[in-house]
Every structure is written in structure tokens, then in C-alpha cells.
């Protein structure tokens, strides 16, 4: 069978050899991803990152990816300051996360090729809580942390923090209604199954 259009995945052991800060078990990252700053990226267990995703981590920053996390194809994660994705979080295809932005007012110069003294960069960490799911094409701006359990609809613009356990969407993104928490019992079942312990929540 031809492999011409299948670049495949690098798995946990190979990823550790590349110099990641941490790599758990059952981690797969597509070989056509672009990753800058391996040594500043920590990855938990049961994680898959599809290509062609780009992750860029500045020297003074880090990226922390929890366990049971999926990052869909074509995402872009830019970590000038810290970026964290909580356990069971997920990014659908084409999500963009930025922890820094230029000043668009025209009062300063812009872009990475201009010395810092001529620019005014606004930064803010981005933290996605546990069980956060982000729809395709969404853009998350600096400081726009998303509370545990919230979901964000496709093509949203997240420019400010979002509360926990809400269904959110829009440009700008806002909370629309409460999100159900049934998935928490399913998390307990899965963790019990993975640990080899019979779950009291089944049956």
C-alpha cells in the first residue's frame, strides 16, 4: 500500500528523544507538524496532535498539555507566555491560540522582525480548563482563559475570559447557557478502567 499521502505519527519514545520536557504514554504527534521549543513543552498521557499543526514556544515560556487531549489538524498555538490545555480538553480543526499580540493602533511598529523598543506587545497567558472543547476555526486571544467544562462553538472569537460550565459561541464569544456535567461520571469510569480498578459507577 502506498504511503505517499500518509506522513504518520511520532510516538512517545521517539518524542522523548527529540527533547520534549515531558511525554506521557500513548502520545502521538503527526510528523508533518511544525514544533519550535520542544524542551519547553510537557505532554500528559493519551494525547494526539494531528498535522499540520504548528506550536511555537518562546524561550521564556512553556506549553503544558494535559492527559486525554486531542488537537485537530491545522491548529496554531503561539506561546510567548504560558499556555495550558487541561485534561480532556480538545481543539477542533483550525483553532488559533495567541498569548501575545501587537498594538494595532498605529502608535508603534509591529511584527517579529522589529526590535522590541519600537513595539508595544500585549501578552496574557491562556489556560483552557478541564473538559473544555473548542470548535473549528475559533480564535483565542491573549488572556482569554476558558473555565473548566465550557464549550466554545465553531468560528468564535474569544477575546476575554469565559466562565466555567457554559456553552459559549459568537464574535465576540459569550456564554449562552449552562453546559451539562454528565461527562464527569464518564471521566471517573474511564480513569477507573485505565487503572484496572472496577468502577462503582457502572451498572
User: Domain coordinates of the chain in residue numbers?
Assistant: 9-195
> What pLDDT is recorded for position 3?
66
How many Cβ atoms are within 10 Å of 97's Cβ, its own excluded? 25
Question: What's the rounded mean pLDDT across residues 7-25?
Answer: 95
pLDDT band (50, 70, 90) for residue 188 = very high
pLDDT at 202 over 70: no
Q: Which three cell numbers stand for residue 22?
A: 515531558
How many Cβ atoms are within 10 Å of 155's Cβ, its own excluded? 15
Gap between the terminal Cα atoms of the chain: 44
Helix, coil or strand: residue 11: strand
Structure confidence by residue, pLDDT tens digits, 84-130: 999 999 999 999 999 999 999 999 999 999 999 999 999 999 999 99
Closest of 165, 140, 143 to residue 154, by C-alpha: 140
Question: What's the rounded mean pLDDT across residues 162-187?
Answer: 98
Q: How many angstroms separate the CA atoms of 76 and 65, rounded?
A: 14
Lowest mean pLDDT among 44-53, 123-132, 135-144, 194-203: 194-203
Phi-psi region of 155 (alpha: psi -120 to 50; beta: other; left: phi over 0): left
pLDDT at 172 over 50: yes
- What average pLDDT does the structure give for the chain? 94
> What pLDDT is recorded for position 6?
82
Closest of 172, 102, 103, 95 to residue 126, by C-alpha: 95
Q: What percent of the chain has pLDDT over 70?
A: 95
**CATH superfamily, domain at 9-195:** Hexapeptide repeat proteins (2.160.10.10)
Structure confidence by residue, pLDDT tens digits, 29-71: 999 999 999 999 999 999 999 999 999 999 999 999 999 999 9
Q: What is the pTM of this model?
A: 0.93
pLDDT at 203 over 60: no
Q: How many angstroms separate the CA atoms of 40 and 9, rounded?
A: 20
Helix, coil or strand: residue 172: coil
Amino acid at each position: 500500500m502506498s504511503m505517499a499521502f500518509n506522513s504518520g505519527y511520532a510516538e512517545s519514545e521517539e518524542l522523548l528523544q527529540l527533547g520534549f520536557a515531558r511525554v506521557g504514554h500513548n502520545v502521538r504527534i503527526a510528523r508533518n507538524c511544525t514544533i519550535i521549543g520542544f524542551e519547553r513543552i510537557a505532554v500528559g498521557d493519551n494525547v494526539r496532535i494531528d498535522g499540520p499543526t504548528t506550536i511555537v514556544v518562546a524561550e521564556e515560556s512553556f506549553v503544558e498539555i494535559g492527559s486525554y487531549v486531542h488537537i485537530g489538524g491545522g491548529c496554531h498555538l503561539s506561546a510567548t507566555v504560558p499556555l495550558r490545555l487541561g485534561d480532556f480538553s480538545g481543539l477542533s480543526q483550525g483553532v488559533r491560540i495567541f498569548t501575545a499580540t501587537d498594538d494595532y493602533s498605529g502608535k508603534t511598529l509591529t511584527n517579529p522582525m522589529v526590535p522590541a523598543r519600537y513595539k508595544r506587545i500585549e501578552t496574557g497567558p491562556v489556560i483552557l480548563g478541564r473538559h473544555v472543547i473548542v470548535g473549528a476555526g475559533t480564535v483565542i486571544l491573549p488572556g482569554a482563559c476558558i473555565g473548566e467544562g465550557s464549550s466554545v462553538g465553531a468560528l468564535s472569537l474569544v477575546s476575554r475570559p469565559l466562565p466555567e460550565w457554559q456553552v459559549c459561541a459568537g464574535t465576540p464569544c459569550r456564554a449562552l447557557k449552562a453546559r451539562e456535567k454528565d461527562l464527569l461520571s464518564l471521566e471517573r469510569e474511564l480513569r477507573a478502567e485505565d487503572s484496572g480498578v472496577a468502577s462503582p459507577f457502572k451498572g
